[in-house]
Amino acid sequence: MARTFGEESTTDEVLDGMDLTGKRVLVTGVSAGLGVETARALVAHGADVVGTARDVEKARRATSGIEPGSAGGSLALLALDLASLASVRTAAEALVADGRSFDLVIANAGVMACPQGTTADGFETQFGTNHLGHFLLVNRIAGLIAASGRLVNLSSAGHRFSDVDLEDPGFARGGYEPFIAYGRSKTANILFAVEFDRRHRARGVRATAVHPGGIRTELSRHLDEQAVQALIESIDEAQVAAGRPAFRYKSVPQGAATSVWAGIVADADAVGGQYCEDCHVAEIEEGEGIRGGVRSYALDPERAKALWALSEEMVGERF
């Protein structure tokens, strides 16, 4: 009988009894939080992990306690700044030159609700980092993802703040709001998974997007405590109105559980082209303010195709 997991499940519970010896995994953003825990759990179960970070020295310190389990496992670090297409291309070229395949790619790194700014290439920071950097990296190494392999894009319930704006992705017309920009980028993460899944499933490669839950990590470094409390209060108001429990934080191991569940444990056909939360495939939920479920616009296959075309134009490459 298949095991059932939920919002309180941890990475070790999800991977309990699994031997990942011989599996190779790429995880972006292993210098803090979910990335470190994801890498730790995978290595502990025998996987060989390549972890990327903008600051490799910081990542080395953050991952210094990661040790292989009885099944072996290893961690190697690779410099990657998702806010620089030049850095993305350099990292991708190194991986392609190495030539070894990946069974799983977890696009984990990201920024949230930061002040308005631009990446090295002039893109709005959140859209450029969270979406375009991963879009370029993953497509450049797509040939390294083994048949039956998977791509897991970390999205967020924050996708509910906004659909992508295909006409003005960088707020050139003004009106920048940190959480609207975050919402656009997290919707883009889902739409990217939808279209990547459509393009690669014929060879057995599936893609999905996941919401890890609310976790206290460095991701929220741009939010002051007052802003965080106001956000939680607005969430709770909507949750109560919908007859749902109030918001509560997850631990980091609970937050990383859905990533490894979707990437390794879940049935590929069940999660392919979908959005997952709390170790299950989410239902479409259109209500305002609530945290659960996925907005239909984030799974729209035509929006996904249109975003792909726009992303190719923005990064200057076709895939």
Q: What amino acid is encoded at 279 in this protein?
A: C
70 is catalytic: no
163 Cβ neighbours under 8 A, 6+ residues apart: 183, 184, 187, 295, 297, 298, 303
Give the residue ranges of DSSP H helices in the chain: 11-14, 33-44, 56-62, 85-98, 125-126, 134-140, 178-200, 225-241, 252-260, 268-271, 301-315
Please identify which of the residues 182, 250, 275, 311 carries the catalytic annotation: 182
- The helix-helix angle for 178-200 and 301-315 (nearest 10°) equals 100
305 is catalytic: no
CB 54 within 8 A of CB 80: yes
In angstroms, what CA-CA distances link 213 with 8, 141, 276, 295?
10, 28, 11, 16
Please identify which of the residues 9, 84, 155, 185 carries the catalytic annotation: 155
Helix (H, G, I), strand (E, B) or coil at 207: strand
Please identify which of the residues 87, 186, 250, 311 carries the catalytic annotation: 186
Matching residue, tokens 């070790």: 12
Neighbours of 210 (CB within 10 A): 32
Per DSSP, 114 falls in state P
From CA 131, how far away is CA 134, in angstroms rounded? 5
Which of the residues are catalytic? 155, 182, 186
